[in-house]
Amino acid sequence: MADFYFNLPLWFRLLVQGFAVIMVVFPIAGFCSLAERKVSAWIQGRPGPNRALPVFIAWVPVLGPFLQRLGIFHFMADGGKMLFKEDSLPGHVNKFYFILAPIVAMMPALTTVTTVPFGAYLDAAGQVIPLGLARVDIGLLAVFAVSSLGVYSLILAGWASNSKYPFLGGVRASAQLISYELAMTLSVVPVFLWINSPGMPGTMSLARAVEFQSLPGFFGGAWFIFIMPVAALIFLVSLFAETNRHPFDMAEGEADLVGGFHTEYGAFKWGLFFVAEYAHMLIGSGVFTLLFLGGWNPLPWVTLAQFAALLHVAQLPLVVGLLSIGIFLGKVIALIFFFMWVRWTVPRFRYDQVMKLGWQKLLPLAIANLIAYAIGIAVIQK
Amino acid sequence: MAQLLFNLFAVFTLVTAAGVVLNKNVVNAAMCLLLTLVGVAGLFVALNAYLLAFILLLVYAGAVVALFLFIIMLLDTKGDQRPGLKHLSLIARAIALALVAGGVVSFFVRSRLPEPSLGATPALGAELKLYAYQLFTTYLLPVQVIGFLLLIAMLGVIVLSKKFDGLEDIK
C-alpha cells in the first residue's frame, strides 16, 4: 500500500496531499458555524438548533433522535440553504469587486494551510519528522504575509457594496487589521529569539518552535505559554482582532452597522465570508498551538516520542502520524471553543476602545516584552 | 521551467505596473499596484530570495497598499475627472519622458555587464541569518538613515494632521 503510494508521480502525490488537507480544513471550518450556534445556545441556556433530520436517519431507533437533538444535520441544512438561495446582485454595486471580494476572502485562508505543519511521525532512528504540505524555512513569516492579504476582502467588499454601512465596516476593518498586525508580529519575536539559539541555523519555522518545546529538562519541555505568558496573551488578543472575532468584530458590528462589510451579500457569497472567517480562526489557532501550546506534544513535559513509546506504537509511523494530528486538532478545536466562549461572554468593544487597546496598551506591552526577553535570552544563552 | 516562470512574472509585473499608471479609477490602480507587488514577489521567488518575497508581501502588499485603499476610501476620491494640463505638469511630463527615454537608450547602448559567476554570488535574500547579519553589519548605516527618515516623516504627519489647541507656534 505504502509502496504503491510512493511509486506514484510526485505531482500526483502533492495534489492528493493538498486535496486531503483542504478536505479536512473546509468541513471543519463549515462545522464550526454549527458549533457556534450550539455553543451559543448552551451558554445562553437554550437548546439551540435541534430540528433538522433526514428521513433515512429518522428510521434509526436511538441514535437518530440523539443526533437530531445535537443538531448535526443543521450543518447540511445550512449549507444547502446557502447553495439554493437566490444569489442576488444589488444594482448599485461595483460588480467586479463585489464578486471578487468573497473569493479573495477564501484564498489567503486556504493558502496559509500549506505552510502550517500539523503533525509529526517518528522515523526509524526515532527522529521526529514534522508533517506539512510545504516545508518552508520562513514558516511563520509566510503565514503572516499571506494571511495579511485577507484584509482586502473586507476592504473590497465594503467599497464595492457602494452603500454606507458596508463602507464604514470596510474602513474600520482596514484600520483595525493593520493596527493589530504590529502587536501580533512583535509578540512572537521573543519565541524566535529563543529558538534561534547560537550555533543553530537561523529559521522562522513553526516546526522548530515545537521541537524546542519537546526538549528534555524542565525549561526544555515547558510549553512557551508558561515561559512567555505575556507574549502568548498579546498574540491571542491580536488573533481575536485579526480574525474579526468578538469582542473585536468592528467590521461586522450588527448592532450599529446592520451587517458591516457584508450587509449587501447573501446566499453563497455570504457563506464564503463566513467559512473564510472560520478558516482564519482555524489557521490562527493552529499557529497559536504550534508556538505556545506545544504543537503535537500531548502534555507539557511529555513529548510525542515518549507518548508513542508509552503506547508501544513508536515503530508504526502511520499510527504516530494520525495520533499527532489528532492531538494537534484537539488543541486547535479546544482553542476554537475558547473563541466561541469569549464571543458569547464578553460584550463588543467601542471602536475607540479597540484603537486604544491596540496602539496604547498592546503595542507598548509587546515592545517592553520583547526588550525584556531579548536581555533575558542574551544572558541565558550567552 | 524556472526561466519560463521568471519571464511570466516579469511580463505580469510590467503589465500590472502599466495598469497602475493608466487606470483612471483610483481603486483599480491600487489593486493593480497590489498585483505588481505580487509579481515582484514572484520574481524574488524565482531568484531563490524567498525571504525578500515574503517580506515584500507582508509589508507592502499586506499593509501599505491596504493603507492606500483606506486613504482612497476615506477621501472618497473618484478620479474620473482630470484637471486640465498646467504648464508645470507639462514641464514635469517632458522631464519624465526624457528620463525614461534616456534610461531606455542607455539600457540598449551599454547593457553589457561582465558575465557574473553564479556560484560566487550568494542569494542574500534567501537565508534569514545571512540577511540579518548583513543588515546589522554591512548595511547598518543605510538602515539607520532610512529609519531616521521614516521617523521624521512620522513626526511630520503627526504635526500636520493633529490640531494643537493653544500651541499654535508648533505648526
Dist. CA A226–CA A245, nearest whole Å? 25
Domain membership of residue A22 (yes or no) is no
| Residue A112: domain span | 91-381
pTM for this predicted structure: 0.85
Given a cut of 50, whether residue B171 has pLDDT beyond it is: no
CB pair distance less than 8 Å for B69 and A201? no
Contact call for residues A63 and A53 (beta carbons, < 8 A):
no
Cα of B116 to nearest chain A Cα, Å: 27
Given a cut of 80, whether residue B1 has pLDDT beyond it is: no
Residues sharing a CB contact under 8 Å with residue A325, sequence separation 6 or more, in sequence order: A118, A119, A131, A296
Kindly identify which residue of chain B lies nearest to residue A205, measuring between CA atoms.
B128
Please report where in the chains the cell 507639462 appears, as a residue.
Answer: B90
Dist. CA B124–CA B147, nearest whole Å? 21
Q: DSSP label at A120?
A: E
Please report where in the chains the cell 514641464 appears, as a residue.
Answer: B91
Residue B170, chain A, CB below 8 Å: the answer is no
Domain membership of residue A296 (yes or no) is yes
Domain membership of residue A73 (yes or no) is no
The series of mean pLDDT values per 10 residues for chain A, 382 residues long, is: 74 84 82 86 87 79 80 82 84 85 87 84 76 77 86 86 84 84 89 80 79 78 85 92 82 74 82 85 90 84 80 79 88 91 87 88 92 89 75
Dist. CA B41–CA B65, nearest whole Å? 14
| Cβ under 8 Å to A: B residues 15-74 | 27, 34, 50-51, 54-55, 57-58, 61-63, 66-67, 69-70, 73-74
CB pair distance less than 8 Å for A155 and B69? yes
Given a cut of 60, whether residue B121 has pLDDT beyond it is: no
Q: Which residues of A58-87 are buried (b: 16+ CB within 10 A; e: fewer)?
A: eeeeeebeebbeebbbbbebbbeebeeeee
Number of domains forming the structure of chain A:
1
Q: Which pLDDT does position A19 carry in this prediction?
A: 86
What cell numbers appear for B93 in the block? 511630463
- Per DSSP, the three-state class of A104 is helix
Using an 8 Å CB-CB cutoff, list chain A residues near B127: 137, 201-202
Dist. CA B99–CA A170, nearest whole Å? 39
The complex scores an ipTM of 0.80
Per DSSP, which regions of A91-185 are E strands?
A: 119-122, 128-131
Q: Which pLDDT does position B163 carry in this prediction?
A: 64
Query: Which one-letter amino acid corresponds to residue A119?
Result: G
Domain membership of residue A307 (yes or no) is yes
Kindly identify which residue of chain B lies nearest to residue A173, measuring between CA atoms.
B70
pLDDT tens column, A17-64: 888 888 888 888 878 888 888 888 889 888 888 888 887 877 778 888
Cα of A249 to nearest chain B Cα, Å: 18
C-alpha torsion sign, points B30, B31, B35, B38 = positive
How far lies A104's CA from each of A153, A167, A269, in Å?
5, 17, 11
What cell numbers appear for A292 in the block? 505556545
Given a cut of 70, whether residue B120 has pLDDT beyond it is: no
CB pair distance less than 8 Å for A174 and B66? yes
**DSSP per-residue letters across A212-261:** HTT-SSHHHHS-HHHH-HHHHHHHHHHHHHHTT-TT--TTT-HHHHTTGG
**Given pLDDT bands bounded at 50, 70 and 90, which one contains residue B114?**
low
pLDDT tens column, B47-102: 878 888 888 888 888 888 888 888 887 776 555 555 566 677 788 889 999 999 99
Kindly identify which residue of chain A lies nearest to residue B77, measuring between CA atoms.
A159
Cα of B62 to nearest chain A Cα, Å: 5
B142 against A310, higher pLDDT: B142
Count CA atoms within 13 Å of residue A9 on its CB side. Answer: 3
Q: Which pLDDT does position B82 carry in this prediction?
A: 56
Domain membership of residue A319 (yes or no) is yes
pLDDT tens column, A169-222: 888 888 888 888 888 889 988 888 888 777 777 778 888 888 888 887 777 778
- Per DSSP, the three-state class of B111 is coil
Domain membership of residue A34 (yes or no) is no
- Per DSSP, the three-state class of A201 is coil
Give residue ranges of A with CB < 8 Å to any B CB: 97, 136-138, 141-142, 144-146, 148-149, 151-152, 155, 158-159, 167, 170-171, 174-175, 177-178, 181, 196, 201-204
Contact call for residues A150 and A280 (beta carbons, < 8 A):
yes
Domain membership of residue A6 (yes or no) is no
Domain membership of residue A35 (yes or no) is no
Given a cut of 80, whether residue B129 has pLDDT beyond it is: no
Q: Which pLDDT does position B100 carry in this prediction?
A: 92
Using an 8 Å CB-CB cutoff, list chain A residues near B58: 141, 144-145, 148
